[in-house]
A = this chain, B = another copy of it.
Amino acid sequence: MSQSQDAAGETGIRLDDIKVVLVHTSHPGNIGAAARAMKTMGLTRLVLVSPKDYPSGEAFALSSGAHDVLDRAEVVEDIDTAIADCTLVVGASARLRSLPWPLLNPREMADKVAAHPAGSTVALLFGRERSGLTNDELAKCHYHVNIPSNPDYSSLNVAQAVQVLCYELRMRQELAVPQTRTDWGVEWDQPPARAEQLEGLFEHWEKTLVEIDFLDPTNPRTLISKLRRLILRAQPDEVEANILRGMLTQVDKSIRKP
């Protein structure tokens, strides 16, 4: 079953249908780091267009466990061969071009890719370390994608750019999963406290505060209201409420000791 079927019970582009195409990469370390970045996000198809120095031990070293992505990588002569079977081609572009071209941010790119018909193949193009993609290469793309960055220092290296775009593709897929998460983002191991339990806690708390002379009798309400507000914001579970209640009981005992 495809990942997107897993994810949302519907067909669509799978991460396996996306090619990451590195064009004329100079440093093999960047190829390895890009493979690693892809694999962390679940992408598997790497295509290298005329890499300067590949295969390379440095690429394997920097792939750090993503050897399988490098082993499967296709090496091709030119960009046309790399994208021949693709129906959607998106090129990473740092610079503003003289000829305006449809431009996406990484999130919009992920939406476009996800909306593309199932069974088709998508290419993401990344250019040379120093100069990126040429105008001719960018003109082969349906869209350009630009990673928002510091205008004074926009030098993401190619592996970092691959990381960010693959992250957005994975996020798009994960967000398509029907949400079964609780309010706190994780499976909680205790049921939330019931109002009657919390009411008992707050009454007990107020009594104890009077006993230890902490509660200002001229203005008790504000203090108790602030405590209520604080604890309620945290939406305590049953065990947490019991811990607080238990503490109060123990305070009561301690102050009554001879």
This chain: copies in complex: 2
A66, chain B: closest CB distance, angstroms? 7
Q: Does A104 contact B (CB under 8 A)?
A: yes
Other-chain contact of A214, B186, B233, B246 (Cβ < 8 Å): B246
Q: Which of B106, B155, B184 contacts A40 (CB 8 A)?
A: B155
Tell me the bound Cα distance from A188 to B223 in angstroms. 16
Q: Is there contact, CB below 8 Å, between B153 and A184?
A: no
- The reply to whether B240 and A226 contact each other, CB–CB distance below 8 Å, is yes
Cβ–Cβ contact B107 & A171, under 8 A? yes
CB pair B185–A102 under 8 Å, yes or no, is yes
A212 to B251, CA, bound (A): 6
How many residues in A have their beta carbons less than 8 Å from beta carbons of B? 68
CA distance A235 to B233 in the complex (A): 8
A169 to chain B, nearest CB (A): 10
Instruction: Choose one: B36, B102, B189; the contact of A184 (CB below 8 Å).
Output: B102
Q: List residues 60-92 of chain A with CB under 8 A from any CB of chain B.
A: 64-66
Residue of B nearest to A151 (CB): B42
Distance from A155 Cβ to chain B, minimum over Cβ atoms (Å): 6
For A257, give the chain B residue with the smallest CB separation.
B255
The contact sample of 28 A-B pairs, CB cut-off 8 A, is: A36-B155, A40-B150, A40-B154, A41-B149, A41-B150, A65-B153, A66-B153, A100-B184, A101-B186, A102-B184, A102-B186, A103-B186, A104-B185, A105-B171, A106-B171, A147-B167, A148-B167, A148-B170, A163-B163, A164-B164, A184-B233, A212-B250, A212-B254, A213-B250, A226-B239, A227-B243, A251-B251, A255-B257
| 10 residue pairs, one from A and one from B, having the closest CB atoms | A103-B185, A234-B234, A233-B234, A42-B150, A214-B250, A212-B254, A102-B184, A103-B186, A254-B255, A100-B186
